């Protein structure tokens, strides 16, 4: 299979559901948000924005920009806490309800993100996901809360790293198929580790990601993912519990 061939796809059910964070579970990009929160000069802000755009379009290796962006931003502990609150404030509709439904079906639900773990954990808690199901990049601070650095060994700060993390999740439950939902180039790179990759365009629609994915979602509502992640029998099972009623209605096209 060449690099531009469409990904393979197998229908549900899946045992492990993996979600990207930025522009998938929430409506913002953490790096952009930190840029807005931070007190940094215009030229550096523009440099961060340009690096992010090129990295997300797949034009630059992630490791070439990851550390540089954080070095420009140097996010304090307070800035990362504020980012966590922004993640929750911009959470897409029906995230909590979708997670509750997937848990009710006995699925493992994970977030795999190149974002900053302390901020992603705030969104995860809002979605009722445990910290052990969150895979993201650790950032360290001094005792005053000033930025010290990030975990340079994290695979999620490198191109192709998401693929490795999703492969590991697949290995942890070899009998369960994996579905992966994301909007960006690093999500697409991880697609071959999953039995289904859903290109999510509910926040930002990236043509290069949509071009290779066989399954797409364009609605800014996580309920719309349900029919793409669950089998008809699983949807019927959910319909038996009125607690999932509003989610199932929102899932209708």
User: Which residue among 22, 183, 187, 241 is the active-site one?
Assistant: 22
Q: Which is nearer to Mg ion, 99 or 136 (CB)?
A: 136
Contacts of 9 (CB under 8 A, 6+ apart): 195, 196, 197, 214, 215
The residue written with tokens 């949509």 in the block is: 210
Site string for Mg ion, 132-171 (x = CB under 5 A): ----------------------------------------
For residue 217, what are the CA distances in angstroms to 89, 202, 222? 22, 7, 9
Examine residue 22 and tell whether it contacts Mg ion (CB under 5 A).
Answer: yes
SS3 category, 159: coil
Active site residue 20: yes
Smallest distance, Å, CB 205 to Mg ion? 12
**Does residue 183 bind Mg ion (CB under 5 A)?**
yes
Residue of 15, 17, 18, 23 that binds Mg ion (CB under 5 A): 23
- Please check whether residue 31 is in contact with residue 73, taking contact to mean a CB–CB distance below 8 angstroms: yes
Contact 51, 59 (CB under 8 A): no
CB of 131 to Mg ion, least distance (A): 20
Distances (CA, A) of 66 to 60, 163, 172, 179, 219: 10, 17, 28, 26, 29
- Is 33 one of the binding residues for Mg ion (CB under 5 A)? no
Which residues have CB under 8 Å from 215's CB, separation 6+? 9, 196, 197, 198, 199, 228
* 13-21, 118-126, 216-224, 231-239 -> range binding Mg ion (CB under 5 A): 13-21
Catalytic one among 8, 9, 20, 241? 20
Task: Report the nearest approach of Mg ion to the CB of residue 186 (Å).
Answer: 8
Residue 218 bears catalytic tag: no
Query: CB of 162: closest distance to Mg ion in angstroms?
Result: 10
Contact positions vs Mg ion (CB under 5 A): 20, 22-23, 183-184
């Amino acid at each position: 299979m060449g690099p531009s061939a469409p990904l393979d796809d197998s229908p549900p059910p899946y045992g492990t559901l993996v979600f990207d964070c930025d522009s998938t579970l929430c409506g913002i990009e953490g790096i952009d948000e930190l840029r807005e929160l931070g007190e940094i000069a215009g030229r550096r802000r523009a440099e961060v924005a340009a690096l992010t755009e090129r990295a997300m379009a797949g034009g630059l290796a992630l490791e070439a920009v990851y550390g540089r962006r954080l070095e420009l931003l140097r996010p304090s502990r307070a800035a990362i806490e504020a980012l966590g609150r922004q993640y929750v404030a911009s959470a897409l509709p029906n995230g909590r309800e979708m997670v509750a439904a997937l848990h009710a079906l006995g699925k493992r639900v994970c977030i795999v993100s190149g974002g900053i773990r302390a901020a992603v954990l705030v969104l995860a808690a809002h979605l009722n996901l445990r910290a052990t199901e969150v895979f993201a990049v650790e950032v360290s601070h001094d005792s005053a809360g000033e930025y010290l650095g990030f975990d340079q060994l994290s695979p999620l700060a490198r191109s192709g790293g998401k693929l490795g993390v999703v492969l590991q999740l697949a290995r942890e439950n070899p009998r369960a198929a994996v579905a992966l939902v994301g909007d960006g180039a690093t999500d697409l790179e991880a697609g071959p580790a999953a039995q289904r990759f859903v290109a999510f365009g509910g926040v930002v629609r990236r043509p290069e990601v949509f071009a290779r994915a066989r399954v797409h979602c364009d609605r800014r509502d996580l309920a719309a993912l349900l029919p793409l992640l669950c089998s008809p029998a699983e949807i019927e099972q959910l319909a038996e519990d009125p607690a999932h009623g509003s989610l199932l209605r929102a899932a209708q096209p």
